[in-house]
Structure 1
Amino acid sequence: MTLPPADSSLGRLMTRLPRTGRVEWIGLRPARNVSMRSVDRVEARAGGGLAGDRYAGGSGKRGITLIQAEHLPAIAALAGHASVSPEILRRNLVVSGIPLIALKGLRLRIGGLVLEGTEACDPCSRMEDALDPGGYNAMCGMGGLCARIVEGGVLALGGAVEALAPHHGDENG
C-alpha cells in the first residue's frame, strides 16, 4: 500500500489515531484443524510468526493476525449468537481501543515488537462451521488485520498497541 505524502491532508488524517490500544487475548494454532490455545505471552519472530503457532515459519506477510475486540459483539449479533469467543475466529491477537484496519500499510508497536499491517484479514470458509451458516458474511469487513513481524520479541497480554510514524523509503511509501 502506498501512503500519501506525510505532509498532505490525507496523509495526516491516515496516521492520526484517537488513542493507544491494548492486547486483550493471544492465541496459537499448533496444527491444522486443531483448536486454538490461549496463552499469556509468546515469542514473536521477525520475518516469521509466533513460537508454537502453525505458521511460525511462514512467509512473513501474514506472520500474525489481529482482530478488533470491539467487533466481536457485532460478529456475534450478525451470526445470531449471544457472544463469540476469540478461539473460534482463528486470529492470534484480540486488540481493543485502536482501529486495526487503519493500520494497514503502517507500522505499529506492541511492547518491544514492531509489526507492519500488510492486508485485511478476510474470513475463511471455516467460519460457516464456526459461526453456523452465514458466518462468513457475518464476519465480512470485521476480520481484522494481517501483519508482518518487523522486529521480534515477547508479546504479552495487556501490552500497549500504538501506531508508529509512517516508515517512508521502503515498499510502503
Structure 2
Amino acid sequence: MVNPVSRAAFALAVFTAAALVGACRDTGKQALFEISGRLVVFNYREATLTYLVTLNPLRPIEEGQTITTTMDNPAGGGPLVFSQKLFVGHTKVTIESPELECVVKDRPYKVAITVKSKAGKVLQTIETTMVSAQDQDMLPDRPLVVGSGYDPNPELAGHPDGRLPGGRGVTCPA
C-alpha cells in the first residue's frame, strides 16, 4: 500500500515541476505574423525590380490593423516607408515595395515591418533583410513592350537588347 505522505510528496513534486516549467515560458506577446517568403522580383518585360515579402498570420487579423514597412533605399538617401491596411479573414499578407533602383547583387538591404492596431499601438515588429542574386543592371533600360497589345516600345527602336546610350537615367551610389 502506498503511504499517504509519499502520495502528497509526489503530488507536490509534480505541481512544483509544472510551475517551474510554466515559469520558463516566454510570457511576452505572442507573434501575430511570421515571414513565409521573401523575393526580389525582376520584371524584365516591364524593366522593374521590387521586393516582395509574404507574411503568414499566426492569429486572426483584427479589424483596423495596418502594416508599416521601412526598407533601405538601394538608390541612397532616406529609407522607403509605406503602409497598407490588413483585412480580416486573409490567410496571407503580401507586401510589395515600390519600384527600386540601384540594387546590387549579394548586398543585404534591411527591412522592418511594424504591425499596428486600429488605435496605432505597435503589436509586432519583424526585421529581415533582402538580398538579390543579380545586379539590377541585367534589366533593360525601358520596358520592352507597351500597351495592352504588347507593342514593342518605340523608345527602344534600334536597341533590341533594351540598352539605351543614356542607360536608365539613374545615378547610383558607389
Q: TM-score if structure 2 supplies the norm length?
A: 0.26
Instruction: State the structure with more CA Rg.
Output: 2
Q: TM-score if structure 1 supplies the norm length?
A: 0.26
